[in-house]
Every structure is written in structure tokens, then in C-alpha cells.
Structure 1
């Protein structure tokens, strides 16, 4: 009896459990084994679909955003309903690496005008989405703007939510590195691509906005200095996510914006004549918009001509008919407009053309401007309106490093921009979500992501001034269901309205205002905090990253006394009252002693997971004062600034001792300052060793040097042996890349990347003789198996013997930052006990960068609270 026949006899639940464990390549092989195998494997193969573009070289240039692969999948989904109904998770992403957080993200408008613009593509999306009736998760990551609009407007078309549509609602929405102001606009008058005009987001349960523009309206156009990805633009270098750079084609936003103005002028001044038996021709030549889309139009025609069309797999008739559109018509349909997140000017025609205009011509140009302007509301307004539409079902809301600051150009803040920024927060916090369980606002990376100054979650906001940008606070009222509330208590009212939160993320210095709490609201604040003390299991706090690294303490030198006072009020007014917390994440530029005090204040919570992330190693500085203990032979000069020395006598005295738990009657009292302090791990072990399952410490300055650790490393890490229930530890380590006085980062990274490719011929040249010099260095220190061995030897002695004896051992991740642009590479391994009782590596993966396919998918699928 054949194996497929044996499988067919299994109960359905057991069969599904077996098949779901197979890799996609194995399912694809099973799919062609028999008719029965096709029936059981096909739904699993198509359960998750990715729409990803690619890079294609043509004779006349390189198309950095070829949609061929996307179109082939859309064609299959539109033509074969049995495949489309199998799709549960749909992801659209660009094949390029995401923009670097610090150097590229703030300057990327994500408005690429020339990507995925062919009207046939947009219509094909409509056909495919209409067939995908069971999609519950939609992810768009670095999405092409027009394709993003099409997916959002089609999946949330109000007609899909009507009774009898047969469509299940999308329950999870992940939007990252993309524009949302057009795709999420709930009501449009018209759309040149014939996309749905009315949207309904009811049914959404989880929403994540991540690293994208969510700016309020402003009369100042911040975006004209931004960059956009392009088909046919100029080649420029960007960071590749692996420590190096790559070249892709970009335009300046100002160029694409100017094309719309130039087009209006072209319309005004051209004269058209029609040659015999030919198309109308302008005496001024092609429109500026045609020139902008010249490469995109030509390459799209090539892509469509190469689609695998057969008798049972052909383009729908209404898609095929669009081939007759001229390049001019396609350009006009594709153009998204000239303004991003800006208040629409009263007279856009006058704005585009400052010279005097006849009234009729002005009206004509205004109509043309309005037709071209696809984004008619700012992205913050679109986001809030979408969330309001989903309020009845939403359980998780995450705003993860969103770019929310409007342009504030000049010596003082633009009053209208500041008012708009304030209104954005008041609108967001006027929303009510009856079933909300997770609310995360993580904004600690770059200044563009900062929280509104003076806004507090559990205190009176805007206390430092009686007005906002010249407008009295008393005139700013939140209105929800006809009820007006004071704007300075918007955060507190929001928290009172959501008493079932289990997960909360918020900037540490924006829980409480620096001064005394007003007596009239003190009982309300106390009630909210006590409720959270009973419900919160997951807490994440952050502050803006410091440039050179976090100080040990701000006890003597403090750049912002108000922010410090607010952070310390969080410790004594919030953290100490948490009784159910199982996970705490502390990220950003707060001093090390404040991180320690958070851990001490949480003594009453059963903490299972602790995460600390910063520029410097949260565990302590193993390099000495400004690197004196490692020297230039190991660490580059640029990485030594600002490193404060550890108090070596104290560390060597306390570090190796057994941490003592607090007494049963322990009462927390804050102890700021770092002088005489125990190592961070020793403090954590003293308070939480019995319950900890996971530890994560990220920060590369001062981190343990893997290949030649300094003496102080041992007492700083000694307390690890007391975490007997530890299942996973993640730790930044410093990997020395200097050889003969020069860094070899690029060689090492290439070696790692090539080692993952079995067919690669670019690995180290091996001869019959023992390799010498750099080849020997690569093989013995940086080869993946050599690294795993080094990490095992380094970490294993610090781990608890009890933890290592468990089945599967302890998961260890060593995280390295190397490369000219700081690529992050991780080695995952499992440390356990061998047959003879020695420490052994049970298995390893890596080194892998963040965008390595398995790691990328894992982060998407295992992200908490999504």
C-alpha cells in the first residue's frame, strides 16, 4: 500500500497536524504525487501568499520593481477560486531592504509615484481580492503605494462586509513602511482606478502601524526634501541591512511633485493637432507626466506580454481591454498628487502658478489639481478614522515608531502645525475600544517619532502653558458621542475607558508630569493604576536614544530635569504597584540606575521575561573607561567615546557572590546613583531569579568581547548561573574584526552569506596545505561552526547546571553588530549537557541577519499582541 493511501486513512485532525509541519517545498512535492495529494496539499501551499516584486535587467535599463511575480500570482488567484479561497494570510512587500532607521526612515516619504501603477494591475487586484474570501491577516511591508491602496480599499470595501457577501472580515492588519492616507480614507468622491469609494473596517481585531508616516495636516510641505523609490530614476546607495550598501533607483519627491505642476502648465500652453489616421499630438511633445512614467509604462507592457496566458488562465476581459489606454492616460491615472499630509491650499491653482490667472482658467486648474491629488486627508486623520470604524471589535492597537511630527520650520514652531499635531493626539485618545487588551505606543528612536511634548498618559497634560500655539486650552475640547471632555485629561480618560488592558507600551517620561499631581485628579489616577496592577502582564517602556550611549546615572549631571522627574515618578507611582507583570521591556536612553530601579520596584510581580535595549550594554561596560581595557587592537576608536568605567572593586566583590532575595517584609525604597552598585544581572537575580524564563540584553558599546573577554566580564555575568528556570538568553557581544590593523567586516559578512548557499564558489579557498593568514583567521574564528563553538565555550560556564540539563538545553542567541553601516547578525544555538556531563552545543543556526528569510518570517508570525 502506498504512503498517500495510508495518509488518507488518518483522521482529518491528525492529517492536518502532520501536513502543517511540512516545509513548503515538501508540500509542493506532495502536491504532484496524486490527485488526493493535490487536494490535501494545495490549501496548505496557498494558505500564506506573498506578493513580492523583483529586480530585472533590460537592454535599456534596470527595472528595480518588476511586478511579474506579483501578476502571475494575482492571475492565478483571480482565475482559480479554489486557490483564492485557500488564502488566509496575504503579505505584500517590496523586495528591497527596509530603510535604515536612523539615516533613511525619517527622509523616506513612501510615496513612490512610479511603482505598480499599471491600471491592469490594479484591476487584477480587484478580481483576485474578490475571490479571496477567507483572508484574516493582511500585511503590507514597504508596499508600493498604488498597490497598497488597491489592497486596502478592496479588502475593506464596505460591500464585502454586507450580509450575503460570503466574505470573512480581515481580523489582523499590519502596515509598515508605507503610505496610508489614500488607502485608509473611508470615503472618497471618486477614484481614477475605479477602486471602492466607501470602506468599512468593522471586524478588525488587531492593527499595527509600524515605521510609517502618520503626520497631521500642516500648511508646510515637509516632504519636498524626501526620497522615493522609482522605476527609471537615478542610481543611489542605500543601506542593505547586512552592514553594507546597495544601489537602487530613486527620485526626489520634489521631482515627482513638480511633474504635476509642469503637467498643468503643459495643458495650459500646448496646442494639439491630429495627423491623418493618427493619435492627437501636442506641439510641446509628451506631457511631463508621460516622461515621469516612461520606463514604468514600457516595462509593464513587456511584463504583460510575457504572462503565461493559457486557455484556462487568461486575463479577465475588463483587464485585457485596458491595454488600449495610451501612455498619457496611464500616466494621468497613476499620478498621486503634489502634497503629502498637508492641508489642501484654498487656491491650489494659485499655489502652483503664482502669476495672475483669469478666473475661468483658475477654476479649470483647480479642478485639474483636485483630480490629480489622490491624498486628500493627512495620514493621521485616515488612521484615526479607520480605528474609529473598527472600534467595536479592536482588541490590540500598536503604533510602533510612527513618524508623527509635522513640519516645524523656522526659528519657532509653526502655530498651525502644532495645533494640528495636538488635535491628532486628542482625536486618537477620544477613540473608545470596548474590547481593547493591548495598547502600545513605542516612539523612542528618532526625533520624528517623539511623543507630543507635554502630553501625559496618567496626568494632566499641557501643564506648562495655558495655551497651545496661541489657542487657549479651554477651547480644545474632545467630543465623543456628544460629550465634551477637557483636552488636558485626554490620556487619563482614555485609560479609564479601557480597564481590561493586559499589554501597555508607553514612553517612560510621559506617564506623569514632573510636578505634583493635582489633588482633584489624584483619586482617578490611583484607580487606573490599581486596575492596571491587577490586569497588566506585559509592560514596555522607552525613552529617546542617546547618541553616544546611556549614562550610568543622572544623579549629578542631568540634561533634562523634567524628564528625569517624570521617569522617577513612573518608578514610584506606577511600576511598584504592578502585581501581575510577567514581561518587562526597557528600551532607549534612560540611565542604567533607572533601569535597575524599575526591576527592583517590580519585586511583587512574577517576572518571566526581561528585555533591556540601549546603545551601551545594559549588563555593564567590559571595555573599561573609554575602552582602556581593550585598546585599539580590538575595538575601533569611534566606538569608545562616552564609556564610563565600572567600579571594579565592587564588581569583583559582589559579582561572584550568591544573590540574596529580598526579605518577606521588603518595602521598596529608591536608590539612585551607580556608585557601589551590584552588577545588573546580580540585581535581577536577587529579585526575579526564581521566575525568569527569558533574558534579553542588547547594546554593543562595552558588550562582552567574544574572542578575548576582559577580566571584568566574568563577575558581570556570574549571576546567570542562578537562573535555574532560564529557557532563553539573548545577548549582544562584540566581535573583533581587526586583522593586521585593518577591519575585515566586509570579508566576514560575505563569508557568512556565501556559507548559506551550497552552490557558492566564493568561500575560502582550501588547499591541501594548512591555510595561513587571513584564510586561517576566517576558518578558525568566523566560520559558522567555529563561532558556535566559541559562543558555547563562552556562555555555557555561566549558565545554570539545572537549566542546561533540561531537554533541549538553553537557547542562546549571540548578537553581533559589524559592517560599515552596522549590520546585525545573530547566531542561535542550544547549550545542553553531553553524555559525559560536559557542556555541548546541541545545534545552531546562523549567523543570520534580520531580513534572512526564516528570521523575517519568524518575527512576523511570532510577534506578540498581533
Structure 2
């Protein structure tokens, strides 16, 4: 959901200062733009990657998140309204990460209008029909107000902006300051605010700096209105440029974002070693309930263009799409098989004609993915949707040898494998038993397990995310038994290790709100109690992987992991809040379900979703707990302490806060819960085991992490808390930047 509003600042002094600043930053090697302001975003990209820029060393890493790239990354343009560089060169880039941004093809069908999609835009006071003032999640358990509009509403505002600008150019400048509609009011407010800010700076500036600003003085309000116009259409098709009216030629975004991204990658192809598409929006906004031939054809064309690229130095290729339907691949697109593009009208047939794809294009998409993988034999990290490696049927004889050769090579080169599936609504089932279209997805996922996972021999890390059933997660772990695995990550809606809440959450129903337990299946408690404490049997030298789907009476997931990989594992991460171990009132089944932790003697880091009940007297108190955490970390809050008149202990809710939710109390409770389950040898090492308890708190279930180091006491040898940090939410500065900097393969 990138910022696109045309009433955001366009002050040429700001853009000029950005341009001058970039010229002085000749040693920058990493550029990250997150939630980029569209105009500053364009200036940074076009100035840092200007073809003739003087620099001591090239930018090596580029991270673009929640921003538009159509104008800023277009490698060659004829002119720019703010005199930014016209030609770009991305050679020298070694790592590129596109994250949560549009990468859509231009639409070549009968209609230019997009029917879905939201953008951060102006407030709903402009166009009530398509806008919204619904609060959005702030990643801290609460919400914030912001203006969002449908793409259609934003297009309507763009058209009105053109009409307004055209009318005032024939009138006097004073017309801008008459009573106006909300659009004009917002724009003029931004223009006046900019002037006030720069005027306030002047007294503190040196004469040389004042002269510099004066040289960048913005044009008139009318001219600035033209500069602010980004266009009534986002990701416009090429033919749209030829039918625009005169005023609409002000459009800033002249090429679809997918075409611009491909051009960027072509420019960087000789030096690129790592390429990541992290939840990018590729699905055309024109797709509705009915099939739209032109939009689907353009969508497929984006992947044809991507697979046609060649990167001689590529070591990491990642395409993640677990988060939302708009990030999904075209149905039937395969990386290592014939792509079988189905339509809603004929799901049992392969007929590209229904998509409007000509014969030549159909041939190119058919084995484009396989050709791409053959051309990049040195990939060490691969991320791809689990159901999009193969069609739901046996590999055809005409390509079997080619496919097996690629898989055999991956078995030697891959050290990091990541697979995902779209998140399931109520959570992941024990096994996939549904019928109909979903059976194809199941068949494709299981082919991945049997044909790819089972052939891996060198993996050190595996990540399984999204709506992958539990039995298929287990079978992946069994399939990669020959790998020297050091890190396992499993992420879902439900706890990947098992359900400690009972069926539908009945075992802790007084501590959860309505619907929290929906979809939770019942564990075989007898089997877990019997097998959870047992020492995993050693793996025979003659072990041969044979898939065993389903979830009968069997050891807990953690016991299976321990049997196959405990000796080398240094890091475990299991995220999923539904059914997760409860901190304040752990159910009896929790202990045998997690008991296998004691076999991971080399474990250094454990991340585990833990359920933190916020109920008090039948009502959730999330907001009070979050406020309490923030206050305990704020110097301004802790400086103001109420001194009671007597020494009476706190009671009621005040007592609950201090005994159950104070950070130090939480750290002790995490130590008590996990400490006895961890390996004594692991805890005895200097620093102990880093345990991260991940809590989902707040009406919008923000993630708060509490990092606790669990070690052994010097006197009695019992588990002790050696130190803790938190709870911290995801966007807290130190935690947020720490996560950014620790991203592998960037």
C-alpha cells in the first residue's frame, strides 16, 4: 500500500537539497527506502543512480519497501519536471530487495480502470464513495487514522486535479485563495506550510545557505500544482500515453511498475548476486470475480520477462507470497515444470487462448522457469511458493532429465531453502483433507517434498511459512534428514509445535475471546504423554525417506525434529499464536509437547510464540497492559511516581499488572516455563540460551517480543534468568533496525 497522494509536498527547495546532498555522499553503499514519500523517493533514486554521478564506490545494496518505483527507477526518460537525472545506471548493485510494493504490468485490455486495490492517499473528506477513514493497524496493538482510497477514487481525484489546474492557469493567481473544495484546501495548506518552514529557517542560516535556498525557490502555486500531479492512472499501459489529453501529459508515471522493475534488473544484471521479491503486488488490479483476458495476459507477461533475465553471479533468488492474495503467482505457473495456466471457465484444460496469450508467448511461459533455473546453477538460497514448483501430476518424460539435473544441482548448492503457502484463515490443519481445486495445491506441495526436499544434502537453514498443513511440515523435516541443518523456522497462524489449548480452545476458554479457538483440532493426548518424554530413536544408517502423510497417534513435532536434526541445530523459531503454550496458566500437555527441547544440546537461540492471557474479571485488558509496558520503559513516566500514604500492598488489577505483566515478572515466568525443558549443556554455555517469547497483544494482535537469556545458577544448577530485554513491539527503533540489518541475503 504505497504512498501515492498528489497533495503531499512537492517543494522544489526540498528536492533541490536532496539532489545537492546526494552529490556529496560519494561513499554510500546501501540505500534503503521504506514508506518513501513519492517525490523524495524519486529524487533519491534518480540522484544516487544517475548514470554520470561522481562516486568513490557504487551502491551495492538497494532495499525498496512500500514505495512506488515507476518514476524513480525508470532507467531512461525524456524529461523531468524537477530536473532530476534522465538516465540511470544500476550496474554495481549486488543485492536488491523489493518488499511490499507494486510490480504490476500495464493493462492492455478494453478498460483502463482498476477495480481493486488501496493506496495511502488523501483523507476521505475528498471522495466519500471510494475513500475510507477506517483506522489501520499500527503494529503496536492499536490503530491510527490515515486516509486511504480505492484506486478508482484516487483516479477521480487525479482527473479533478487536472481540471482545477487547467482552470486556474487561465485565471489570476488570486483564484487559488478563494473558498475551495477539500482537494484545493489540502494542496494550498501543504504549500503554505512549506513556505512557513523555510521562512523560519532563514534567521539561523549563513548567507551562503540563504543564497542556496533562494536559488531553489519554488515556482508559483499553479506551477507547483502541475509538478505534484502524478497521474490519474497508476501503472499506465503504453497506449494510454497516446490518448491522453494535453493536461494529462503531466503524468509523472509513464511506465508500469513491472516494466520499470525489469529494466532496473537488466541494468544491474552483470553484478547482481541476490534478488528478493518479498510480498510484492503483481496481480493486476483489473482482475475481479470474472475473468479479464487482457489483465491476466499482462500478469503472465511479467513473469515471462523476469524469467528471461540472466544474472551470471546470482547466489540468492527469493519470491515470497504467503501474506495476501494480491502477492500470489498466476495459477498454474511453475518453476520446474510445464506451466499450465488455468482459467475459471476451463480448469481442466490448458488453453492459453482464453488468456489472450498468443502462441509465441505461450511457448515462452511454458518452461521459462525451468530455463531460468538452468541458467543459474550457483544458487545457494531459494525461496518459492511450495505449490508452484510442479504441476499436480508426474513430471512429463520430455523434461524429466532436465528437471532431475536441476534438482540434483540444487541438492549440492542450496544451503538455505524457504517455502510458503498463502496463510489459512482459521489456521493450518493437521493434514489437508479437502476436495476440489485445493487437491491440486496439495498434490503440487507433496511433489515438492518428494522430488526436491528429499534430494537436498547441504541445507543449513529451512523456513516453512503460511498455510502449509502440519503433516507436510513434518515430512519436509524428515525428507531433509541428510542435511547438516542448523536453523529451522516455521511460521503459521497456529503454533507449529501443536495445540496446547484443546479442541477449539476449550481447555483455556476462560482466557480467550470469542473465536480465538476456531479451527483448533484436538491432539491425541495419550500419544503425546507417552511419546513426548521418550528419547528419540537414533536414525539407522539405511534410513530411506518415504512420505507418511496424515497425523495419527504420533510423537509431537518437536520430537520428530529432535530425532532427525538435534545434534547440529543452533537456532529454532516457531511462530503461530493459536494453540501456543500459555504463559500464565500452561495446560498439562505443554510439558510433554515441548519436552524434546532437552535434546538440542547446541541450541543457542529459541523463538517461540507464547500465549499471554490479558483477561481480568472476564474482560480483555490489552490496552492497559500495553500502556503499562510503555510507561515502564519511558523515563518521563518513571520519573513521576505516586508515593502511597501507607505500606499497603497493591490489590486487584494493580496487583495483577505488577505480578503477571511487569517485564521482570514476565521474564521470570518465561524462565520457569522454558528453563526446565532446555538442554543442561546448552544452558551451561556462557550467556545461556537466548529465548525470545513472542506475544500477540492488543485488539489488532501486535507482536511484542521479550528476549530472555536462560542459564544455570552457580549454586544450585537450576534454570535462572541471566538478563532480559523487552517487551518490545516490532516497530520499536532498536528492534526494527536490528531486524533490518540482520536480514540474510541482503
| TM-score (norm: length of structure 2) | 0.93
Distance 2:591 2:708 in 1: 21
In 2: Cα distance, 1:289 partner to 1:707 partner: 52
Aligned length: 727
Aligned to 1:342: 236
The CA deviation at 1:835 is: 1.3
Q: Is 1:331 paired with 2:203?
A: no
Q: CA separation in 2, counterparts of 1:146 and 1:782?
A: 44
User: Which secondary structure does the structure 1 equivalent of 2:592 belong to?
Assistant: helix
1:601 aligns to 2:601 (yes or no): no
Of 111, 116, 141 in structure 1, the residue corresponding to residue 9 of structure 2 is 116
Q: Does 1:429 align with 2:298?
A: no
1:680 counterpart (551, 557, 567): 557
Residues 1:138 and 2:16 are matched in the alignment: no
Residue of structure 1 in register with 2:51 after alignment: 158
1:217 positional shift: 1.1
| d(CA) in 2 for partners of 1:411, 1:840 | 57
Would the alpha carbon gap of residues 251 and 129 (structure 1) be closer, same or farther in structure 2, given more than 3 Å must change? same
Matches within 5 A, 1:665-676: 665-676=542-553
- Among 64, 70, 73, the residue aligned to 1:175: 64
Q: State whether structure 2 residue 737 is matched by structure 1 residue 860.
A: no
Deviation at 1:230, TM superposition (A): 4.5
Secondary structure of the structure 1 residue equivalent to 2:738:
helix
Partner of 2:677: 798
**Aligned CA distance change for structure 1 residues 282 and 794 (closer, same or farther; 3 Å):** closer
Q: Do the aligned residues in 1 keep the contact of 2:340 with 2:391 (CA within 8 Å)?
A: no
Secondary structure of the residue aligned to 1:704 is coil
**1:360 paired residue number:** none
CA shift, 1:636, in A, is 1.5
In structure 1, what is the equivalent of residue 77 of structure 2?
Answer: 188
Whether 1:448 and 2:326 are equivalent positions in the alignment is yes
Distance (Å, rounded) in 2 between the aligned partners of 1:502 and 1:386: 23
Counterpart secondary structure, 2:43: helix
Q: Distance in 1 between matches of 2:405 and 2:427?
A: 37
Once the two structures are superposed, what CA deviation does each residue of 1:379-419 show, in whole Å capped at 9, x if it has no partner?
A: 11111110010000000000001111002445522111011
How far, CA to CA, are the matches of 1:313 and 1:677 in structure 2? 78
Task: Name the TM-score, length of structure 1 as normaliser.
Answer: 0.80
1:730-772 alpha-carbon deviations (Å, 9 max, x no partner): 0001001100111000000011111111221598966331000
Partner of 2:361: 476
Among residues 681, 697, 702, which one is paired with 1:818 in the alignment? 697
Paired residue secondary structure (1:659): coil
| Aligned-pair CA distance for 1:433 | 0.3
Question: Matched residues in 1 for 2:351 and 2:119: separation?
Answer: 39
In structure 2, the partner of 1:257 is 155
Deviations along 1:462-492, one digit per CA (max 9) or x if unpaired, are: 2651315344563217xxxxxxx73200000
Q: Which residue does the alignment assign to 1:12?
A: none
Q: Does 1:299 align with 2:193?
A: yes
Tell me, in whole angstroms, the C-alpha distance in 1 between the residues paired with 2:177 and 2:169.
6
What SS does the aligned partner of 1:293 have? helix
Aligned to 1:488: 366
- Aligned with residue 652 of structure 2, among 750, 754, 773: 773
- 2:664 aligns with 785
Contact 2:335 2:390 in 1 (8 A): yes
Q: Which region of structure 1 is more displaced relative to structure 2, 246-255 or 417-426? A: 246-255
Contact 1:213 1:402 in 2 (8 A): yes
**5+ long unaligned stretches in structure 1:** 1-107, 350-364, 478-484
Q: CA deviation at 1:259?
A: 4.1
Distance 1:624 1:267, change over 3 A: closer
Higher relative contact order structure (alpha carbons within 8 Å, sequence separation ≥ 6): 2
Separation of aligned partners in 2, 1:271 and 1:424: 40
* Match runs of 1:647-658 below 5 Å: 647-658=524-535
Distance change >3 Å, CA 623–CA 285, structure 1 → 2: closer
Partner of 1:247: 145
SS at 1:546 equivalent: coil
User: Do the aligned partners of residues 841 and 225 (structure 1) sit closer, same or farther apart at CA in structure 2, a change above 3 Å counting?
Assistant: closer
Within the alignment, does 1:221 sit opposite 2:100 as a pair?
no
CA contact (8 A) 2:2 2:66 kept: no
How far did residue 123 of structure 1 move?
1.1
State whether residues 181 and 379 of structure 1, in contact with CA within 8 Å, keep that contact through their aligned partners in structure 2: yes
Partner of 1:693: 570
Q: How far has the Cα of 1:637 moved from its partner? A: 2.1
Q: Distance in 1 between matches of 2:177 and 2:581?
A: 70
List runs of 5+ in structure 2 lacking aligned partners. 127-132, 342-348
Contact 1:394–1:435 (8 Å) recurs in 2: yes
Query: What displacement does 1:248 show?
Result: 4.0
Q: Using the TM superposition, give the Cα deviation of residue 113 of structure 1 relative to its aligned residue in structure 2, in angstroms.
A: 1.9
Per the alignment, residue 548 of structure 1 pairs with 426
Where 2:309 maps in the other structure, the secondary structure is coil
- Counterpart of 1:20 in structure 2 is none
| 1:741 aligned partner | 618
Is residue 241–residue 254 contact of structure 2 (8 Å, CA) maintained in 1?
no
Q: Are the aligned partners of 1:266 and 1:288 in contact in 2 as well (CA < 8 Å)?
A: no
TM-superposed deviation, 1:541: 0.3
Report if aligned partners of 2:101, 2:281 keep a CA contact under 8 Å in 1.
Answer: yes
Correspondences of 1:401-550 after superposition (within 5 Å): 401-462=279-340, 464-471=349-356, 474-476=359-361, 486-550=364-428
Q: 1:398 to 1:271 in 2, by over 3 A?
A: closer
Distance 2:124 2:467 in 1: 41
Q: 2: CA distance between counterparts of 1:211 and 1:424?
A: 17
Do the aligned residues in 2 keep the contact of 1:273 with 1:282 (CA within 8 Å)?
A: no
How far apart in 2 are the matches of 1:308 and 1:521? 70
Contact 1:466 1:473 in 2 (8 A): no
2:536 maps to 659
Change (3 A) 1:283 1:147: closer
How has the CA–CA distance of structure 1 residues 719 and 211 changed in structure 2, closer, same or farther, with 3 Å as cutoff? same
Q: What's the secondary structure of 2:266's corresponding residue?
A: helix
